[in-house]
Amino acid sequence: MFTYTVSVSTGKQEFAETINDIYLTLVGTESCSDRTLLDKSVVDHFARGSVVSVDINVKEILGDIVLVKLEKEKILFNDHWYCRSISVTTPSGDCVQFPCYRWIDFEKEVVLRDDKDRLSQDDNMKEYRRMELESRQLLFRWKEWHPGFPMSIDANSSTELPLDIQFEAAKSVDFSLNYITAIKNLGLNKFLKLSSWKDVADFEKIFVKIKNTVSGCINYCENDYFFGYQFLNGCNPVVIRKCMNLPDKFAVTQEMVQGSLDRGLTLQEELKTGNIYIADYAILAGVQANATDPDTKQYLAAPFCLLYKNSQNEILPIAIQLSRQTTAGVGNTVFLPSDNQYDWMLAKMWVKYADFSVHQLVTHLLRTHLISEVFAIAMYRQLAAVHPVFKLLIPHVRFTIAINTAAREKLICKSGLFDKANGTGGIGIAEVIQKAMKTLTYKSLCFPEAMKARGVDNKEDLPNYYYRDDGMMVWEAVKSFVSDVVKIYYGSDETVQEDEEIQAFVQDVCFSGMKNCPKDCEFPNSLKTREQLVEYLTVVIFTASAQHAAVNFGQFDWFAWIPNSPSTMRKPPPTQKGQVDMKYIMDSLPDRGRSSWHLGAVWALSQYQDEELFLGVYPDKHFTEQSVIEATKTFRKKLGEVINIIKSRNEKLKLPYCYLSPDRIPNSVAI
């Protein structure tokens, strides 16, 4: 008789009170053990999150242990439990690890492979690999939630998701409860009556209790420097681009801006020199404003905002146009810093309203949440658990499908919470995302390419752009780590080409997940070189971690001051100068009720989660290869160097930029 000792490591997740009838089978190269019912006294310890061991006796040596099978019999209630890993100690004393990190329930037999990483072409157990992927493809099905959107998971509610990707009990998401709790915690209940504010100073009442990074800059809606600074380092630092030629529908002239140009050059000369930048919100043109509240008319505009880098390297607004008629005329009034106080103040508020709208739906929702979900679904469908790329990506898709499903269920659905405060609610959500999808490209997700495309990649040309500078450091650190891992498993470009699972992964993203993108979107349908694979995986990880952090966790900092980032406007944009006063501005801005919902939302969305896992922190040991462990250590070291560089710079700044410090970048899109 030979004895194999099986040790089962369970997780901290919540268990059922009773766990019944767990069977275990060891499969070796020579034979397999009998299907063994684990003793009840052993099973009862599973709920304690500990490591429990059991001896399995067999009549003959099994050979090399290559599989562990777990199964549960179906009973009246689902008594699932979470298994981190299983180790098997053979009679000779060898120990073989079998990573799991999955929930075990009664739905199916779970087959665990050992901890060795294998490309699809190098695996001598292809049948089990095929069965695993076929099983996953039944669970992770594509669905078009809305025409023109990226594809999403086929689930109508969070409870329909596969158990392994649902939120843990301690991290369930209820947007309604979170927002209401936020409103209560922020002391906003007294502001919920649907009435206008009296003046800008009236908003200061909110900040009696609310404090954040920038709330001390209480008058920055009137500060042109602070207005311009946000295009570089605010919550939506991806819109500003160098302007070499003025758009046809922009009626700005040399005479209008001459007083704002401090180098003695003409507007055309400044354009050629590269000192003029623009924020163009053309995507909002023709979008229907939120009409879900019959008692409150809401409006949208598609502004141009011309920005000037002056001789002190400050980015300042010098011209704003709120409409875009076919030809210059009354509707194309250009507002200027030299206009009266209220005209210029309101024009800037309209730009910030447009910027907030584009941020929420395009920069944040589409380009981080929805795209990361596409990568996640394709990964589950096409990469086996023993594939090194699956192990590389799994920390970076944690809870992404779950948070997006919750958002579709409660937040951005018809009559969802997004409609309560936002001018792009209602059908505007779909209209904006559908338009954004028509111009979305793969290269725009490559951080260096995105900077270059907007003409903002040169540090000397555009200094103090901390989003760009920190983003480049994080991008290079991620790319270096990915490159190290790819080189371990792929000895040549041919190895990439021969990897059927990797090719299926990128094809599933291109032809299924992003099928609503135009043909020239450049999403690869195959990868031919290691360099292409490195770039692709860097895009996946960077989008889910750094890019999401940069545009998400500053929402409360930058959007809490309502006049700076209105979530809606209740009066139409002015078409002429000299016709607005403070009362018109206050009647335009969100009322007290919408302001409260807006504040509750941006506060809740800006919170880190309990036990958040930050970039490079991988507690689940998917990789056990020493070479990958060393590569991970090198990655963390580089991230530490980036943290120190950012910290040293921020100590000299009045307003630090922290959103891309790696110790504040969660691994995945999970909020």
pLDDT (mean) for 279-301:
97
Q: What is the pLDDT of residue 10?
A: 83
pLDDT at 15 over 60: no
**What pLDDT, in 10s, does the model give residues 123-135?**
999 999 999 999 9
Rounded to 10°, the helix 466-489/224-233 angle is 0
Task: List phi, psi (to 5°) of 557.
Answer: -60, -45
Q: How many helices (H) and strands (E) does the chain have?
A: 21, 15
Is 548 known as a binding-site position?
yes
Specify the pLDDT at position 75: 63
Distance of CA 368 to the CA centre of its chain: 4
473 close to 639: Cβ distance less than 8 angstroms:
no
Do 20 and 50 touch, CB atoms closer than 8 A?
no
Evaluate whether 88 touches 4 at the Cβ level (below 8 Å): yes
19: pLDDT strictly greater than 70: no
- Residue 219: name the closest of 204, 231, 241, 206 by CA: 204
**Cα–Cα dist 345/220, whole Å:** 10
671 is in an annotated binding site: yes
Q: How far is CA 49 from the centre of its chain?
A: 31
User: CA-to-CA distance for 428 and 425, rounded, in angstroms?
Assistant: 5
* 157 compared with 16, residue with greater pLDDT: 157
**How sure is the predictor about 180, in pLDDT bands with cuts at 50, 70 and 90?**
confident
- Report the chain's mean pLDDT, rounded to a whole number: 91
pLDDT digits (tens, 9 = 90+) for 201-210: 777 666 545 5
When pLDDT is cut at 50, 70 and 90, the band that residue 54 belongs to is confident
pLDDT at 463 (0 to 100): 98
- Report how far residue 443's alpha carbon sits from residue 367's, in angstroms, rounded to the nearest whole number: 12
What pLDDT is stored for residue 154 in this prediction? Answer: 98
For the packed helices 341-358 and 224-233, what is the interaxial angle rounded to 10 degrees?
10
Sign of CA dihedral 458, 462, 464, 468: negative
SS3 label, residue 114: coil
Q: In terms of C-beta density within 10 A (0-12 exposed, 13-18 middle, 19 or more buried), how is residue 666 classed? A: buried
Quote the pLDDT of residue 185.
64
Q: Kindly state the average pLDDT of the residues 572-584.
A: 95
Report whether pLDDT(49) > 80: no
Q: What percent of the chain has pLDDT over 70?
A: 88
Q: How confident is the model at residue 448, as a pLDDT?
A: 98
Average pLDDT, integer, range 25-35 = 93
Strands (E), 125-265: 142-143, 152-153, 241-242
Please name which of 85, 10, 13 lies closest in space to residue 45, comparing C-alpha atoms: 10
* Token pair listed for 372: 């990361």
Q: Is 364 annotated as a binding residue?
A: yes
The pLDDT assigned to 23 comes to 87
- The pLDDT score that the predictor gives to residue 156 is 93
- The hierarchical CATH code for the domain 2-115 is 2.60.60.20
Residue 77 pLDDT > 80, yes or no? Answer: no
95: helix, strand or coil:
strand
The strands making up 315-321's β-sheet, listed across from edge to edge, are 241-242, 276-280, 304-309, 315-321, 334-335
Q: Are 365 and 358 in contact (CB under 8 A)?
A: no
Q: Which residue has the tokens 């981080």?
A: 368
What b/e string do you get for 516-529 counting C-beta neighbours within 10 Å, with b at 16 or more? bbeeebebbeebee
CB atoms within 10 A of CB 184: 11
Exposure string of 149-176, with b = 16+ CB inside 10 Å and e = fewer, is: bbbbbebeebeebbeebbbeeebebebe
Question: Across residues 430-446, what is the average pLDDT?
Answer: 97
Of the candidate ranges 187-191, 338-342, 486-490, the one whose mean pLDDT is the lowest:
187-191
Comparison of pLDDT for 614 and 593, the residue scoring more = 614
Name the residue type at position 232.
Answer: L
